[in-house]
Amino acid sequence: MKITLKTSVLATLIMCNGWMTQPASSHTLEECLVDPVGQEATHHANCINLANKTGDKKLQFQLAIAYLSGTGVPEDRAKAAVWLRKAASQGLADAQYILARMHYFGDGVPQDYAKAAEWYRKVALQGDSAAQYLLARMHYDGDGVPQDYITAYMWVNMAAASGDQIPKDLRDEILQQLTPEQVTEGQKMTRGWLAAYPPRN
């Protein structure tokens, strides 16, 4: 009985002082990037811990995609948004774009056009033509941003400058709202922004 009691007390003291630790994860960042879920129950938990510890934006994005698609884990769009936000805050364009769409449609997060525009703008400034086009549409419609036809014209021109095929209808709609002077102003804005933020090729 004395041995059992002493052992129990010693174990309690060790645990209370933080001397007992879990075995270190054997999963590397590279392994988690390849598969953030894995077959073993501990693999996913270890990858989450690694993502939190290292702050690796690519791993954070991989975890988000797993939750979005329900690959190896139950689909959870709210959890996906949490991981997307972590990666997006570090400038990962793909994460920013998906998070913008989620805010726009209220998918896994409250619908918020202003936040959608904010994230689209971050991607657009990295030369993403899809984000530039959608940002043009939001400025044209006044969704989440003040309605501004000149700015909408600038963004649609930015998208076209990338060389990607974009719908022509929006540009035509915008031009119908502009005076010749405003068209000139929009073209000047486009040249300035293209110099500062060239297309991503």
pLDDT by residue (tens digit) across 50-89?
899 999 999 999 999 999 999 888 999 999 999 999 999 9
Any domain includes 34: no
Q: Taking each helix axis as running N to C, give the angle between helix 113-124 and helix 93-105, from 0 to 180 degrees, rounded to the nearest 10.
A: 160
- Residues 145 and 184 occupy one common structural domain: yes
Are residue 94 and residue 144 in the same domain, yes or no? no
Q: How far apart are CA 201 and CA 84, in angstroms?
A: 24
Q: Please check whether residues 195 and 131 belong to one and the same domain.
A: yes
Q: 83: how many CB neighbours lie within 10 A of its CB? A: 25
Asked if residue 46 and residue 95 are part of one domain, the reply reads yes
Whether residues 138 and 189 share a domain: the answer is yes
Q: Show the domain range for 173.
A: 124-201
135 and 75, same domain (yes or no): no
Nearest 5°: CA angle at 200, between 196 and 201?
130
The amino acid present at 122, given as its one-letter code, is K
- Residue-level pLDDT at 30: 82
Q: What's the pTM?
A: 0.81
pLDDT value for 177: 96
Give domain status of residue 82, yes or no: yes
The answer to whether residue 151 sits within a structural domain is yes
* Per-residue model confidence (pLDDT) at position 201: 57
Measured CA to CA, the distance from residue 116 to residue 143 in angstroms comes to 9
What's the pLDDT score for residue 71?
87
Looking at the structure, tell me whether residues 105 and 163 fall in a common domain: no
134, 81: one domain: no
89 domain-assigned: yes
Question: What does the pLDDT read at residue 165?
Answer: 72
Residues 132 and 87 in one domain: no
Evaluate whether residue 33 is within a structural domain.
no
| Spans of the chain below 50 pLDDT | 1-25
Q: Classify residue 54: in a domain, yes or no.
A: yes
Residue 16 identity: C
**Residue 195 domain flag:** yes
Closest to 78 in 3D by CA, of 102, 50, 54, 52 = 102
Q: Are residues 74 and 50 in the same domain?
A: yes
Domain count, the chain: 2
Q: Are residues 102 and 129 in the same domain?
A: no
